[in-house]
Amino acid sequence: MPSVLADTVVHLILTEPAYSGQTLLERAVSVTADLESGRTACTDPFTALHMAAKGDVEAMRFLADQAIRRVLAGQEAAPLITLHEGAMFARMAAAASDDPGEHILVALILAMTANLNPEDATTYAAEMVARLELVAEGDSPLGEQMAQLVASNLGREKAETMALAKEYRARILAAKEAN
């Protein structure tokens, strides 16, 4: 098992209702169907990429969300590559914003990636733990929920994952402070 917390997060993505009674997986399939049928307009990914390159956090979030949605909807032949790209945009949004939701987005992508790529699961799980801990320490409404999720799973994580998570957390905070 790559990471207890990653498994828990992926389980929540697939089984827990989040959007009007839909799981994130059901929501991804529904949004995909709406996009393909023309019922919903979509921001052009090329425009979003251009805007993200100029620092637009909403565009970064859109591209990260797009990666998750496409993987969950089964539209990617190489989901690991798509998740890596989505994680990069999510990391950029988290670095440019004080919104704890940005760290949650990174954590979701990393949880999915850890389950797809067990060889590198420790690295993904460590960053996921670091970001969820940062949210848990914050004053946002998500803080308490993340604190409970983290507390109920951390005792079962590998020591290597936890040591790396501590390092990543320190590096994320140092980068934020420096800029």
Per-residue model confidence as pLDDT tens digits over 123-161: 888 888 888 888 888 887 777 878 888 888 888 888 898
Task: Give buried/exposed letters for 40-71 (b at 16+ CB in 10 A, else e).
Answer: eeeeeeeebeebbeeebbebbbbbbbbbbbbb
What is the domain partition of the chain in residue ranges?
A: 4-178
141-154 helix and 4-15 helix, angle to the nearest 10 degrees? 130
Asked if residue 51 lies in contact with residue 59, where contact means CB atoms within 8 angstroms, the answer is yes
Size of the chain in residues:
179
Q: Look at residue 43 in the predicted model and tell me its pLDDT.
A: 63
Most confident of 21-25, 65-69, 108-112: 65-69
Of the pLDDT bands very low, low, confident and very high (cuts 50, 70, 90), residue 34 is low
Is the model's pLDDT at 118 over the cut of 90? no
Average pLDDT over every residue of 80-100:
87
